[in-house]
Chains A and B, each alone.
Chain A
């Protein structure tokens, strides 16, 4: 069964600082990988996704993530955060073959101070 680990539960940054949120998954087969974001008071929305091809994926609002298969990782990055990036971020994994049960990590709360 798939599982996802997000090691940073709370992150506090100042505006313009660089961001990297860790995500490691456990699954032996081919996977689809996702980062979702939940802004305060809003519903979950997709930030970016990896299905196949280029392991460096670019998403909305300047976010990117890199799939490193050998490390079972899919870390999220942004070179310069803004106050509006304050949100909770969730990494998720799904098998790319057969039925696709989507499993989430525990989330990382990011607070960006102005």
Chain B
């Protein structure tokens, strides 16, 4: 069966420090991968998605970037964190087929201090 792992679960980082959140999917190949940010009152905002290795699409301009160095690995990064980057980040995947739902990781609570 397929599983998705996202880590760390919580993270406290100072302003100006770098960020690296990792997400990996097991049990499937060539998944579509997503990074979302969940904020109160704003729902789930799609940040990045990827349909394949090295292929990244950005949905909103921001201080973050994403990379997909391997088929089932999706990384969310920042060179210098801002206070406004605080939030709850979710990784998700869908099968590379029609008519498929998304499966979510447990999320990372990032607090920038």
Q: A residues near B, CB below 8 A?
A: 6, 9, 32, 34, 43-46, 49, 51-52, 90, 92, 94, 96-97, 99-107
B67 at the interface (CB under 8 A from A): no
In terms of DSSP, what is the predominant structure of the interface of chain B?
strand
- B106 surroundings in chain A (CB, below 8 A): 43
6 additional A-B residue pairs with CB within 8 Å, beyond A43-B106, A97-B98: A32-B101, A44-B90, A90-B44, A96-B99, A102-B34, A104-B44
A92 to B46, CA, bound (A): 11
Do residues B101 and A49 form an inter-chain contact, with CB atoms below 8 A?
A: yes
- A101 surroundings in chain B (CB, below 8 A): 46, 49
Which 10 pairs show the lowest CB-CB distances between chains A and B?
A106-B43, A104-B44, A51-B99, A44-B104, A107-B43, A43-B106, A102-B102, A104-B43, A46-B101, A49-B101
A32 to B41, CA, bound (A): 24
Do residues B36 and A34 form an inter-chain contact, with CB atoms below 8 A?
A: no
Interface residues of B in 57-113 (CB under 8 A from A): 90, 92, 94, 98-102, 104-107
- A104 surroundings in chain B (CB, below 8 A): 36, 43-46
B24 at the interface (CB under 8 A from A): no
Question: Of all chain A residues, which has the CB nearest B92?
Answer: A102
Do residues A96 and B43 form an inter-chain contact, with CB atoms below 8 A?
A: no
Contact of B99 among A52, A92, A99, A107 (CB under 8 A): A52
A43 to B44, CA, bound (A): 13
Contact of B94 among A90, A96, A102, A106 (CB under 8 A): A102
- Shortest C-beta distance, B65 to chain A (Å), equals 18
B53 at the interface (CB under 8 A from A): no
